[in-house]
């Protein structure tokens, strides 16, 4: 998943639409796999008498891994998952910013101010927006 997110980040930087779409499809496929694994893990935890949450998983690992090997591996996996979450959030924010910029550009081309941009009169109070003219008719 980390590799896919890094590829998505590169595609966003290069504005490579086909690569962005491929990354989105790959993320979606992996998300489904992760959901299935999480459901299976939670079911196994419940069957073993643990809660289906982080505390239950930690208790299960402590119970069945006296040597502490699993805990170290779990901590590595948790760190990797956190890295994936942060990169996915960053990529999502980049996508939102691009969408806003495109929306603002389209609003300007159609004769209005960018979405969410207040228009103020001389006294500093919000003034009603007048009908603008598109750039094609200006």
Q: What stretches in the chain show pLDDT beneath 50?
A: 134
Measure the CA dihedral 50/53/57/60, to 10°: -10
Q: What is the pLDDT of residue 104?
A: 81
Q: What is the pLDDT of residue 44?
A: 96
pLDDT tens for each residue of 51-89: 999 999 999 999 998 888 898 899 999 999 999 999 999
Would the pTM count as exceeding 0.75? no
Q: What is the pLDDT of residue 117?
A: 62
Q: What is the pLDDT of residue 52?
A: 96
Per the CB < 8 A criterion, the answer to whether 119 and 127 are in contact is yes
Which domains are present in the chain? Answer: 2-109 (1.20.58)
Q: Tell me how far apart the alpha carbons of residues 58 and 62 are, in angstroms, rounded to a whole number.
A: 6
Q: What is the pLDDT of residue 91?
A: 92
Residues contacting 56, CB < 8 A, separation 6+: 45, 50
Q: What is the pLDDT of residue 136?
A: 56
Q: Tell me how far apart the alpha carbons of residues 84 and 69 are, in angstroms, rounded to a whole number.
A: 23
């Amino acid at each position: 998943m980390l590799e896919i997110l890094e590829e998505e980040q590169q595609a966003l930087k290069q504005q490579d639409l086909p690569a962005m779409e491929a990354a989105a499809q790959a993320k979606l496929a992996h998300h489904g796999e992760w959901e299935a694994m999480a459901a299976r893990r939670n079911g196994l935890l419940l069957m073993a008498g643990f809660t289906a949450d982080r505390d239950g998983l930690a208790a299960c690992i402590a119970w069945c891994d006296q040597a502490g090997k699993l805990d170290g591996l779990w901590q590595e996996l948790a760190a990797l998952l956190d890295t994936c979450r942060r990169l996915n959030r960053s990529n999502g924010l980049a996508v939102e910013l691009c969408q806003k910029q495109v929306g603002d550009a389209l609003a300007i081309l159609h004769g209005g101010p960018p979405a969410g941009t207040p228009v103020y009169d001389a006294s500093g109070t919000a003034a009603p927006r007048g009908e603008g003219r598109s750039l094609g008719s200006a």
